[in-house]
Structure 1
Amino acid sequence: MGRWIRESPAAIVPLALFVGSGTGLGAIAFRWLITAATRLFTGVSDYSAVGRVGNPYLPSLGVWFVLVVPVIAGAVYGPLVYRFAPEARGHGVPEVMYAVAERGGRIAPQVSVVKALASALCIGGGGSVGREGPIVQIGSALGSTVGRLTRLGTPRMRMLVACGASGGIAATFNAPLAGTFFAMELILRDFTAESFGAVVLSSVTASVVGRSVLGDHPFLTLPPFSVRHPAEYLLFLLLGAVVGAIGVCFSKVLYLIEDVCDWAWRGPEWLRPAVGGILLGALLLALPQMYGVGYPVLESAVEGHYMIGMLALLLVGKMVATSLTIGIGGSGGVFAPTLFIGAMAGTAFGDVVHDLLPSMTAAPGAYGLIGMGAALAGATRAPITAVVILFEITGEYTIILPLMAAVALAAGVSHLLSRDTIYTLKLLRRGVDIDRPRAGAALTGLTAGQISSPVPPPLPATTDMAHAAQALSHSPLGMLPVVDACGEYTGCVTARSVAEALSDPANDTATVGALAELPPTVTDDEHVADVLRRLADHPGTGLPVFDHDRTRLTGWISHEAVLAAIHPTDTH
């Protein structure tokens, strides 16, 4: 059974369904946690919708309770994150992107629980962040855990991480298409038939699970969309350029305020959210609409309940509140704040053009809807996701043409203004560039069989740990093939896995057969450019090479062999 899961192309189907259903249940539980935490701290399910009112549990404090709530929440989730999962701090998606691009999809399993608790406390305690980033990280951690338990190779491990990410977006927004393209565009960053099929299955499953509990209704109640005049398309293009630039601005403000917080704070990291919560509480006292995710405020804006001045105040307030929440060590996403900022900017733009051209333009809320997609494209540079998610949120096909025009221009402006996105900039600040060019142009025409070395002596599956350790110590490869009693290849065993088995007193593994892993399969007729990508995806020191029928082990290919093919040494 284990070998079928690791080798069969069909095995990804049940795994994707399992991850999708688990992520759907996780999204339901996470939303319940946020609502429960918000009720605990404020007495209502969404404080941003009720304005500046007191907490019924603490009537003596009146509206001043919002000064205390972020401090209490930070005092709880700060030590929790610091002690158990430091990667749960922040907005989550960059950590998933890093895990997929650089760590073979490996995410610590405790991240799911810590991220859910920390983000629920942060949002419920006034943090002006979104719930989409956390549920993406929660679902991705589930996918990674499933991949590790089933001992999948790196490509499939990454695929399951993307399945968890897509399921998180699908269940949260009731938007299976948006979940799919979010995972493909931002997490995997590569479209293949197998990965697309797996991600779609997970996304649909998570959405079905979410709908069964949360109901099958639009995520947001938004006004109908219409285009009043063909000339409006020029206004939508202008809107895309303006709001795309605002999306880039949000990214810069986010990390600027985070840098200021890093510069100002000299105490222990676990205490930072509690102390910084004083500043956040003061901001919430002045502008209670910034409390939590703020979707009711977004809906009120696109429905035309705010004047231009208030829309501008809410836009700037959200930028500062979200940046401050992340800067003090809070846990939550920036996806929802980006939509919020786009809605404010778009509706304000719509107010201006509607006052100037009342007979030619639609209601300002229509521009708010387009602004949401444009801000998302400007900040994340994921135009397909931006178009699809707004289409699924509104359920109106009439939005597609102006939305595509605005999103395309927003993404173009984002490229002109910054080489980084709101997600990749966080990684670049750590010295990680996931967009760096990959090698491969010099390998055209070469095949794996032409540069592979002879097969190293295999280990019988019955070899004990001591003899396996001795054999691996004399091998420069760090891993050796394993064969069964009939001489058939069953996988590879690594020096690392043997060392871990020997150092763990509780491990009762007796032979290398139980430790055999199945690295990606390479055939001798494959182009080396394709093999190089498999080597980059695999953390080992090489890969076994098979004949065309994948029945006989013919050689071994390593990074050194590929480098020698690119730069052959002078033998004269």
Structure 2
Amino acid sequence: MREKLLKRLGYINQWRMQKISNRNFLIVLAFLVGIVGGLAAALLKGLTHFLASTLQDDIEWHYKYGLYLVFPLIGILLTVIYIRKFIKGKKLEHGITPIIYSISRKSSRIEIHNIYSQIVTSAITVGFGGSSGLEAPIAYSGSAIGSNIGRFFGLSYKEVTMLLACGAAAGISGAFNSPVAGMIFAIEILLPEFSIPAFIPLLISSALAAVVSRILYAEPLFHTAATEWEVGSILFYLLLGLLIGLYTVYFSKISQKVKTWFSKIKNPYNKVWISGISLGVMIFIFPALYGEGYLSIQQILDGRFDSIVKNSLFSEYKDIAWVVLCYTVLTLFAKSFAALFTINGGGNGGVFGPSLIMGGLLGFAFAFGVNQTGLIQLNVPNFVMAGMAGALAGIMHAPLTGIFLIAEVTGGYTLMVPLMLVASISYLINRAVMKHSIYTKVLAESGDLLSYEDKDRSVLSMMKLRYVLETNFVVLRPDETPVERKSDIIHSKRNIFPIVDEKGKLLGIIYSERLFSILLDEAEGKDKSFAVLAQKPADIILEDEKMEIVMTKMNKDDVWILPVVNSDNQYLGFISKSSVFNKYRSLLIRQGQYLE
């Protein structure tokens, strides 16, 4: 049955390729990706909140509140079990970084299981109280939808990439009911260099996803009514931008340290116990860390400033303003560790949501603290919203996404100027210290980042040495002489010959000019072995070296061709500037077509 269906779909696709151009068909597929992406977002939100409400409200038992401490551990454990048992032999990565890597290195291919695996695992993680967000998983799921639809219909790299971006935009749009932010997210994070026609598919997918998600799951992220901002408080918005910028630098650095620490733990179940138990202890002290954390922000936006302390061990001090302030600051820093422990310990989620929570808490602590001095009375909810935009802008290096997302989900377009100021300052501070965002740092260090600021380096990083390796050379043995190999030397189309022993190890090279000189000049000694005549190459290229290093070696000695060997010095072939330039040109053309 399945084979017949695929066969019929294949016939339909062949007819489509003859009748409809890929450019026009891309618009049709953008509609499809938007609808499916909206369904996925609604499903993820509904499933997560069903799990959360079932565990918190629907089950009546005497000790259930004590079990809140172990629910996150159970969620992370179930996530790891699902990954190991149901997607055997395949990787389930999380966050936005793998999506960017797929564009840079995998021709925008994302494995199809991510469409549902991201939804299942993130719903379990967050539904059981894991302190991470749903936005990165739904963006990943949406990207997988777009990528696989594009590949199924045989579209080109640039078209598959566009549909991948449409899927990510649909996921973010559906998650937040914010179509503009979804589109801008795709442009800022996934398509940093774009042309105007790229807006159309993104707009379609993002808008449709918001419509579908709102029909199926209409609950907004936040309920608030933003009020006009006062010109007299502009200095405090600038100070908040500075403070949040410094915090995003801290978070970016601590995230790398936590990730490195967890990577040293090889047993996945040990990661589960460490992260789960640690998370339980943190939630016991700071209950606001349970789950996504949006409820705490909503309570603050509603004016219940003592809510963050109200349900904690320190609830009896909830009426003391400075206790509320200090406890909020501690919760803020605890949130950074809780989110990172959840993600690196085996749970599935992202830092998108936690960024909003941390920014909101910092904005609240700042405005609430200033108000306690009596110098001025700031509008606390406005600073909470500005803080969320600033944190997103700094951590993700996406200021426009931060601005429009907060404006859309809070109805805070009246705060556009403060949002712009706080987001811009936070972004600039983080960018000054951290050249790359939390999503792209690892890729940049490994040379896998597609960068538009340094196109030469970016294109070189996309090359793999094995694709430019040339092997059609005449191999000479060390015990042979020029006379014995005269025919092969004369008829060779290459002007360089590797001298390789019986074990395959490279002993040296010799150029055709010298060989012809030897063969034509009897006094030179035609009977000398190649072991004696061998010349040392200007440099050696190792098979796992990056193309940027290869070009540096070639330019250093001004050579056109160099031998390639493995770690045991065994000869593999040669790499020439000609092959590199040809590959460079083809990649540049593909990159140029990226968003035509």
TM-score over 0.5 for the pair: yes
Structure 2 residue 43 is the aligned partner of structure 1 residue 44:
no
Q: Distance in 1 between matches of 2:130 and 2:256?
A: 17
Residue in 2 that maps onto 1:534: 589
CA gap 1:8/1:204 in 2 versus in 1, 3 angstroms:
same
Structure 2 residue 130 is the aligned partner of structure 1 residue 127:
yes
The 5 Å alignment of 1:106-145 reads 106-145=109-148
Residue in 2 that maps onto 1:256: 257
Residue in 1 that maps onto 2:198: 195
Counterpart of 1:167 (choices 167, 170, 177) is 170
* Contact 2:226 2:411 (8 Å CA) reproduced: no
Structure 2 residue 108 is the aligned partner of structure 1 residue 105:
yes
The 5 Å alignment of 1:37-76 reads 37-40=51-54, 42-44=55-57, 56-59=59-62, 61-76=63-78
Deviation at 1:431, TM superposition (A): 5.1
Residue in 1 that maps onto 2:577: none
The 5 Å alignment of 1:11-410 reads 11-40=25-54, 42-44=55-57, 56-59=59-62, 61-82=63-84, 84=87, 87-90=91-94, 92-215=95-218, 218-228=220-230, 230-263=231-264, 265-267=265-267, 269=268, 272-274=271-273, 276-304=275-303, 305-306=305-306, 307-356=324-373, 358-359=375-376, 361-410=377-426
User: C-alpha deviations, 1:213-259, integer Å up to 9, x for none?
Assistant: 223x743113423223x232222112111112212212222222222
* Contact 1:182 1:385 (8 Å CA) reproduced: yes
* Contact 2:450 2:458 (8 Å CA) reproduced: no
Q: Distance in 2 between matches of 1:146 and 1:226?
A: 45
- RMSD between superposed Cα atoms in Å: 2.7
Deviation at 1:274, TM superposition (A): 4.9
Residue in 2 that maps onto 1:437: 454
* Contact 1:354 1:362 (8 Å CA) reproduced: yes
User: C-alpha deviations, 1:249-291, integer Å up to 9, x for none?
Assistant: 122222222222223x242x36633553222222222222111
Q: Distance in 2 between matches of 1:440 and 1:242?
A: 34
User: C-alpha deviations, 1:418-466, integer Å up to 9, x for none?
Assistant: 1121111243465533337213999xxxxxxxxxxxxxxxxxxxxxxxx
Q: Counterpart amino acid of 2:381?
A: G
Counterpart of 1:420 (choices 418, 436, 455) is 436
What is the SS of the residue equivalent to 1:88?
Answer: coil
* Contact 1:4 1:11 (8 Å CA) reproduced: no
User: C-alpha deviations, 1:146-179, integer Å up to 9, x for none?
Assistant: 0111011000000000000000111111100000
CA gap 1:6/1:159 in 2 versus in 1, 3 angstroms:
farther
Deviation at 1:330, TM superposition (A): 1.3
Q: Counterpart amino acid of 1:138?
A: S
CA gap 1:534/1:44 in 2 versus in 1, 3 angstroms:
farther
Deviation at 1:356, TM superposition (A): 3.9
* Contact 2:76 2:342 (8 Å CA) reproduced: no
Q: Distance in 1 between matches of 2:458 and 2:437?
A: 27
For the pair shown, the structure with the greater C-alpha radius of gyration is 2
User: C-alpha deviations, 1:338-361, integer Å up to 9, x for none?
Assistant: 0100011111111233334655x4
What is the SS of the residue equivalent to 1:439?
Answer: helix
CA gap 1:286/1:369 in 2 versus in 1, 3 angstroms:
same
Q: Counterpart amino acid of 2:30?
A: A
Deviation at 1:386, TM superposition (A): 1.1
Deviation at 1:38, TM superposition (A): 2.0
User: C-alpha deviations, 1:459-509, integer Å up to 9, x for none?
Assistant: xxxxxxxxxxxxxxxxxxxxxxxxxxxxxxxxxxxxxxxxxxxxxxxxxxx
Q: Counterpart amino acid of 1:258?
A: K
Q: Distance in 1 between matches of 2:66 and 2:25?
A: 56
Unpaired segments ≥5 residues, structure 1 = 46-55, 443-527, 540-572
What is the SS of the residue equivalent to 1:128?
Answer: coil
Question: Identity over the aligned pairs, expressed in percent?
Answer: 28
* Contact 2:79 2:346 (8 Å CA) reproduced: no
* Contact 1:140 1:164 (8 Å CA) reproduced: yes
* Contact 1:301 1:311 (8 Å CA) reproduced: no
User: C-alpha deviations, 1:11-66, integer Å up to 9, x for none?
Assistant: 111100000000000111111221232244x2338xxxxxxxxxx4542x453313
Q: Distance in 2 between matches of 1:118 and 1:18?
A: 24
The 4+ residue runs of structure 1 with deviation greater than 6 A are 528-531
Deviation at 1:405, TM superposition (A): 1.3
* Contact 1:104 1:154 (8 Å CA) reproduced: yes
What is the SS of the residue equivalent to 2:143?
Answer: helix
Q: Counterpart amino acid of 2:281?
A: A
Deviation at 1:362, TM superposition (A): 3.0
Q: Counterpart amino acid of 1:278?
A: I
Deviation at 1:398, TM superposition (A): 1.8
Q: Distance in 1 between matches of 2:25 and 2:18?
A: 7
What is the SS of the residue equivalent to 2:57?
Answer: coil
* Contact 1:165 1:183 (8 Å CA) reproduced: yes
TM-score by length of 2: 0.68
* Contact 2:134 2:349 (8 Å CA) reproduced: yes
TM-score by length of 1: 0.71
Deviation at 1:193, TM superposition (A): 2.1
* Contact 2:226 2:414 (8 Å CA) reproduced: no
What is the SS of the residue equivalent to 2:456?
Answer: coil
CA gap 1:440/1:37 in 2 versus in 1, 3 angstroms:
closer
* Contact 1:261 1:328 (8 Å CA) reproduced: yes
CA gap 1:213/1:330 in 2 versus in 1, 3 angstroms:
same
* Contact 1:440 1:529 (8 Å CA) reproduced: no
CA gap 1:4/1:335 in 2 versus in 1, 3 angstroms:
farther
Q: Distance in 1 between matches of 2:271 and 2:19?
A: 44
Q: Distance in 2 between matches of 1:309 and 1:226?
A: 28
CA gap 1:207/1:277 in 2 versus in 1, 3 angstroms:
same
Q: Distance in 2 between matches of 1:277 and 1:430?
A: 30
